Amino acid sequence: MTEKTPRKKKAAPKPEAGEQADAALKKAVLKEALKDAAFDGFTDAMLAKAGKKAGADKDALARLFPAGVSSLVEYFSTSVDEAMEEKLGALDLSKRKIRERIKLAVLTRLALLAPNKEAARRAAAMMTLPIHAGLASKMMYRTVDAMWRAAGDTSTDFNFYTKRGILAGVYGSTLVRWFNDTGEDESATEAFLDARIENVMQFEKFKAKAKEALANFPAFAAWAAPKAKPKS
């Protein structure tokens, strides 16, 4: 009797394959969602509809977007950040001034949002709700951090946080201006951004001069310095 040759078991798929499939499906869901978000906003119903069009069932949607539409909005923001970093990373910014690099970063991100401007407006409106305050802060931090890193910032001291806090104000206000800019070339937005950056630069110059002046008055500097709390 001839022995049957045992069938070779199929090799288990590599984890990377599953991750790549999930990444592709997640991207497909976002693509479909952005088509409807401009009209319907970011809702659970819109996410379910986008998932169906992209071929993602309920289990897949729950896995890819564990917090529902909040996760979808975060993924939208992160995707734009990554695209911005890729575009800026392909440029030689070494000969540009810091203010020029920051301006380019902001305008690059707005240009990436432009094809989905209304969806971006809906997402921004959603993030203004108190329930999303934590996520909104997280998303803003990631965006401005990506901008500063693309601009070549290597600070590790307190300036690391002040730079990002200041840029969050500049980008946030410029984003609102951009949402309301109906001009074809959006020159009003660029002028607004230039003015905000100029304000920041003037403030930085003021701080530098104040610090220099303060150094000439040791007694006043000692008086103005934070006082240590007396031991109880």
Dist CA 108 CA 151 (whole Å): 12
Query: What is the reported pLDDT for 39?
Result: 93
Per-residue pLDDT band at 213 (split at 50, 70, 90): low
- Are 58 and 126 members of one domain? no
In this structure, the answer to whether residues 121 and 210 fall within a common structural domain is yes
The separation between CA 68 and the C-alpha centre of its own chain, rounded to angstroms, equals 19
**How far is residue 229's CA from residue 232's CA, in Å, rounded to a whole number?**
9
For 145-159, write each residue's pLDDT tens digit: 999 999 998 888 888
178-193 per-position pLDDT tens digit = 999 988 778 999 999 9
* Tokens standing for residue 195: 């003015």
Q: What is the mean pLDDT of residues 70-99?
A: 95
**End position of a domain, from candidates 66, 91, 122:** 66
Q: Is residue 13 part of a domain?
A: no
Are residue 72 and residue 171 in the same domain, yes or no? yes
Domain-located, residue 178: yes
Q: How far apart are CA 32 and CA 212, in angstroms?
A: 55
Decide if 126 contacts 42 (C-beta within 8 A): yes
Asked if 169 and 147 touch (Cβ cutoff 8 Å), the reply is no
Tell me how far apart the alpha carbons of residues 86 and 59 are, in angstroms, rounded to a whole number: 32
Show the domain range for 164: 68-217
Q: Looking at residue 144, which CATH number applies to its domain?
A: 1.10.357
Contact criterion met (CB below 8 Å) for 73 and 123: yes
Give the predicted TM-score (pTM) of the model: 0.81
